Amino acid sequence: MPDNQEVIQAISEKPPILDTIAQQQGEGLLGVAQQQFPYLQGKDIAYKFSPKPDSEYMLESYKGDDLPDWAKGKQAAIEVFNPKTSPLDILGDYVSHYGVEADPKLQQLYQQFQGQLDPQLMQERYQYHTANLGENRPYEQWMQMTGLPEMFRGYTFNQWTPEESKQIYSPQQLKTLDAVRSYLGIK
């Protein structure tokens, strides 16, 4: 008869079948995203599911000289680390890191949104990132690689709650981001 410790361990361990299902779902996530968001169909995206439970990131986008070896020959790549990543997360990362440069309509809306940002708010966000999140890049680099994409994604791709969005964005910014949502088919 097993002792209490063995029983507790047995019921707390995840059955191998759940790992297999999670792996299959993760590997097929780009296809699901392309079905849910036709905007992604036909895009030259390399995809890799690399589950890392301890990763601080859900996913990562790559382009240009940053493409990993497994993605060479593609225009962009997405690597998913967290099995909780959603199709909308994939769309958001692709759009905010690649689509805003490659798609003229998104580029125009992105520039419009950038012009609507409050420089003081962005400086405050940068200070928060440096003090709490280990940010050490110069402001301009952070702004282009993290700050602006983060602000662009927050409301557009439901990464922030409606309450947070009401506090952060102006009505003018929300109108611009709603135009992005409409263009991408986000309901």
Q: What is the pLDDT of residues 108-163, one digit of tens each?
A: 999 999 999 999 999 999 999 999 999 999 999 999 989 999 999 999 999 999 99
Which residues have a Cβ under 8 Å from the Cβ of 177 and sit 6 or more positions away?
113, 152, 155, 156, 169
3-class state of residue 59 by DSSP? strand
Inform me whether the pLDDT recorded for 7 exceeds 70: no
Bridge partner list, 78: 47, 61
Please give the mean pLDDT across all residues of the chain.
88
Taking the C-alpha atoms of residue 76 and residue 62, their distance in angstroms, rounded to an integer, is 6
- pLDDT at residue number 25: 59
CA neighbor of 87 nearest in space, from 26, 160, 29: 29
